[in-house]
């Protein structure tokens, strides 16, 4: 029997191959949520710079914790500004979730900002992503380009007009269906209204034609089942705040009920 270790697939490779992946949003700027979630066996976390109070120091610590527990650390950036994308990738993010990608031009710009070869990512050998100066420049560049995951969040109605062009952009690894913003922008009654379902189907079909995986946010099993049937393979389930609220509400209800019984 050979003692040669089988190299582990990167998160980007696992995503591209259609593995069933489970992650969650991180909304609280501490290392502890990342540590707990990763230790439970979640495949990835998404640090939410867009809608939560993460500054660069907090993201640095959360990404450190993700590495410590062996889970992929993605960042949903606040914008597609190249400087912001560079910042989180230098911190060692496995990849980025780029919000409001509404055109192929925006998708190409985001992909280019995250890649060295053929792209526009600025190089430094000093950050975590480069091993704090431990590696050779071109080896570091190739390793980062191979591992960095770029996911385009489709959440604007106008993106549907260019969805096939967006999906085929080289360097965009997956499409994330942003049902919340689509629902809001469409004025739909809820996030599974007919017009939202139609948008989901159009995005999923474009991803399928381009050979790209689909990622989604889900509140629970029912939504996950519906979206898996549409081709989704990467699921962002709730958030650290959502898990805390649910568990706290359950504990409160159970223990408060003892007092009601005594009365």
Q: Which tens digits make up the pLDDT trace of 46-97?
A: 999 999 999 999 999 999 999 999 999 999 999 999 999 999 999 999 999 9
> For residue 4, what pLDDT is reported?
52
- pTM, two decimals, is 0.94
Instruction: Please give the full DSSP string across 25-49, using - where no structure is assigned.
Output: EE-S-SHHHHHHHHHHT-SEEEEET
Residue 14 has pLDDT above 70, yes or no: yes
- Mean pLDDT computed over every residue of the chain: 95
As to burial, measured by CB atoms within 10 angstroms (0-12 exposed, 13-18 middle, 19+ buried), residue 176 is buried
Which member of 20, 32, 51, 100 is catalytic?
51
Residue closest to 72 by CA, chosen among 42, 105, 116: 42
| pLDDT confidence tier of residue 260, bands split at 50, 70 and 90 | confident
Residue 132 has pLDDT above 90, yes or no: yes
Q: Which tens digits make up the pLDDT trace of 181-202?
A: 999 999 999 999 999 999 999 9
Look at the alpha carbons of 175, 111, 88, 211 in this order and tell me if their dihedral is positive or negative. Answer: positive
Residue 178 has pLDDT above 80, yes or no: yes
H/E element, 65: helix 56-69
Domain boundaries, given as residue ranges, for the chain: 11-262
The yes-or-no answer on residue 51 being catalytic is yes
* Homologous superfamily of the 11-262 domain (CATH): Phosphoenolpyruvate-binding domains (3.20.20.60)
Residue 6 has pLDDT above 60, yes or no: no
Q: SS3 letters for the chain?
A: CCCCCCCCCCHHHHHHCCCCEEEEEECCCCHHHHHHHHHHCCCEEEEECCCCCCCHHHHHHHHHHHHHHCCEEEEECCCCCHHHHHHHHHCCCCEEEECCCCCHHHHHHHHHHCCCCCCCCCCCCCCHHHHHHCCCHHHHHHHHHHHCEEEEEECCHHHHHHHHHHHCCCCCCEEEECHHHHHHHHCCCCCCCHHHHHHHHHHHHHHHHHCCCEEEEECCHHHHHHHHHCCEEEEEEEEHHHHHHHHHHHHHHHHHHHHHHHC
């Amino acid at each position: 029997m050979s003692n040669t270790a089988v190299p582990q697939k990167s998160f980007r490779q696992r995503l591209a191959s259609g593995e069933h992946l489970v992650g969650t949003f991180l909304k609280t700027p501490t290392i502890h949520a990342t540590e707990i979630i990763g230790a439970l066996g979640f495949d990835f976390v998404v640090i939410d710079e867009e809608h939560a109070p993460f500054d660069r120091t907090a993201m640095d610590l959360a990404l450190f914790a993700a590495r410590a527990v062996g889970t992929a650390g993605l960042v949903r950036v606040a914008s597609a500004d190249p400087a912001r994308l560079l910042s989180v990738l230098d911190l060692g993010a496995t990849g980025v979730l780029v919000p409001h990608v509404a055109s192929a031009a925006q998708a190409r710009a985001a992909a280019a900002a995250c890649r060295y070869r053929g792209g526009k990512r600025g190089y430094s050998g000093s950050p975590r992503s480069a091993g704090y100066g431990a590696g050779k420049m071109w080896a570091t560049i190739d390793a980062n380009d191979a591992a960095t995951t770029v996911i385009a969040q489709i959440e604007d109605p106008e993106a549907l007009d260019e969805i096939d062009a967006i999906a085929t952009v080289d360097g965009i690894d997956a499409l994330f269906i942003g049902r919340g913003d689509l629902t809001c922008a469409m004025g739909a009654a809820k996030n599974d209204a007919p017009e939202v379902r139609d948008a989901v189907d159009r995005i999923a079909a474009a991803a399928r034609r381009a050979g790209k995986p689909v990622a989604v946010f889900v509140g629970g099993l029912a939504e996950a089942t519906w979206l898996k049937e549409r081709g989704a393979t990467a699921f962002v389930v709730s958030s650290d705040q959502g898990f805390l609220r649910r568990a706290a509400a359950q504990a409160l209800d159970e223990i408060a009920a003892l007092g009601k019984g005594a009365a």
